[in-house]
Amino acid sequence: MCIRKKGDVLQDVQKEINTAKKIKVRSRPLAASLILIGGVILLLFGMALAIAIGAKDIALPDVWNAVFHFDPNLTEHQIIRELRMPRVIGAAIVGAAFAVAGAIMQGMTRNPLADTGLLGLNAGAGFALAICFAFFPGMSFLGLMLYSFVGAGAGVGIVYGIGSRSKGGLTPIRLVLAGAAVSALFTALSEGVALYFKIGQDLAFWYAGGVAGTQWVQIQIVLPAVVIALLGAFALSRSITLLSLGDDIATGLGQRTGLIRLFGVLIVLVLAGTAVSIVGSVGFVGLIIPHLTRKLVGVDYRWIIPCSAVLGSLLIVFADLAARTINPPQETPIGALVALIGVPFFLYLAVKERRSL
């Protein structure tokens, strides 16, 4: 009874082949390679420049020497090694992490407005940090980072929980609204904790966002975590491309959507949690960069993810440079600088109305 006619089966196979043909997604490998190569070169140059420029300007050759022929007796080399290098490397890591986290979220959920800041991850991680500062003042950076993951998870968990429980399902606007409310809640709680335990100073960096105090210890812990997460993201990229075409197509092509989502979420949490534990709450990177990248290289996430990482690093490295040079000796918060670009972009997306926004 259950045996279907041969013709039907053939038809199904034909259908699947057709879908598979359609899956040939629009992508521009050439543009992407150019972005990758050019981006990395520009990034290295930008990092060197960011190391060279500061309260004490240092010539580029000295930067080269400090990195490759370190001489502990020279003050310049000390400044570069101990203050500027960790900071610039931190900026690059954070940019890549936020951008890739945003790209994965946008791809997996087909939500053009996904961003770690907008969806409550940053605020959740920030609240976790506030708790740590208040109750476990001497906690190691590794501990802080782990709590930061948990906080990011709590934030995004509530946002998606609310979104999926409601009648209309997970629409982008619902998620953004839930994210705004969850962020308001976590920020309020953090403020309460900060006031009561008088840790406002420790937390201030987090509200504003900045990589000023980054140390080698932090880089040593963060770098492996982010690199592993980025590799994981790259390994998942093909599946994310398929998911971005819709659940039906992905399932039809034999993807285990549940499993991919789980891994994707884990990677996003690691990336966002790590980034927030270094730089604080910087939003909009995960929104702008993936959109820009998609415009440039097409919709194949095998290209989008590495290109986003490079472009995200570029954005934050230069934002940090600007933050230091706009109004010296004071530092302008990076979060505010990125928001200056991010907000108009968000408004543009909100007004443009695509995908039943």
Partner 1 sequence: MGSMIHQAERRKRSQGIFVVGIFIILIIVAFIISMNTGFIRLSPIEVFSTLFGGGTAQQELILFEFRLPRIVISILIGAGLAVSGCVLQGLSRNALADPGILGINAGAGLMVMLYVSFYSSSVSGSVFLLPMLALIGAAAAAVLIYVLSYKKGEGLIPTRMLLVGIGVAAGISAAMIVLTLRLRPEEYQFVASWLAGRIWGTSWKFVLALLPWLVLFLPFVFYKAKVMNVLNMGDQTATGLGTSIERERLLLLAAAVGLAGSCVAVSGGIGFVGLIGPHLARRLVGPKHQILLPVSALAGALLVLVADTIGRWILQPTDIPTGVVVAVIGAPYFLYLLSKSKM
Which residues would be at the binding site for partner 1 (CB under 8 A)?
113, 118, 158, 162, 165-168, 171, 173-174, 176-178, 180-182, 184-185, 187-189, 191-192, 195-196, 200, 207-208, 283-284, 327, 330, 332-333, 335-336, 339-340, 342-344, 346-347, 350-351, 353, 357
Q: Name every residue whose Cβ is closer than 8 Å to that of residue 323 and which is 6 or more positions away in sequence.
A: 210, 331, 332, 333, 334, 337
Strand partners, 27: 298
**Spatial separation of the C-alpha atoms in residues 95 and 165, rounded to whole Å:** 32
Closer residue to partner 1 (CB): 86 or 120? 120
How far apart are CB 39 and partner 1 at their closest, in Å? 26
What DSSP letter does each residue of 215-273 carry, written as one string? -HHHHHHHHHHHHHHHHHHHHHHHHHHHHHT-HHHHHHTT--HHHHHHHHHHHHHHHHH
The answer to whether 282 touches 338, Cβ cutoff 8 Å, is yes
| Cβ-based burial of 85 (10 A; exposed 0-12, middle 13-18, buried ≥19) | buried
Cβ at position 81, least distance to partner 1 in Å = 28
**Chain centroid to CA 146: how far?**
17
Residue 27 or 111: the one with the smaller Cβ distance to partner 1 is: 111
Q: How near is the Cβ of 73 to partner 1 at its closest, in Å?
A: 36
- Name the minimum Å distance from CB 211 to partner 1: 16
Query: Residue 210 or residue 264: which is nearer to partner 1 going by CB?
Result: 210
Nearest to 277 by CA among 206, 336, 215: 206
What is the signed CA dihedral for 55, 60, 61, 67, rounded to 10 degrees? 80
Residue 211 · residue 274 · CB < 8 Å: no
Nearer to partner 1, 30 or 55 (CB): 55
147 phi, psi to nearest 5 deg: -60, -35
Least separation in angstroms between residue 318's CB and partner 1 is 17
Shortest Å, Cβ 261 to partner 1: 21
Q: Which of 136, 348 has the CB closer to partner 1?
A: 348
Which C-beta is closer to partner 1: that of 75 or that of 330? 330
CB of 162 to partner 1, least distance (A): 5
Closest CB to partner 1 among residues 236, 323: 323
Q: Please say which residue, 104 or 175, places its beta carbon nearer to partner 1.
A: 175
* Distance of alpha carbon 272 from alpha carbon 148, whole angstroms: 9
Minimum distance from residue 184 beta carbon to partner 1 (Å)? 5
User: What is the identity of the amino acid at 222?
Assistant: V
Residue 298's φ and ψ, nearest 5 degrees, are 90, -170
Minimum gap (Å) between residue 118 Cβ and partner 1: 8
Nearer to partner 1, 14 or 164 (CB): 164
Closest to 286 in 3D by CA, of 267, 312, 317: 312
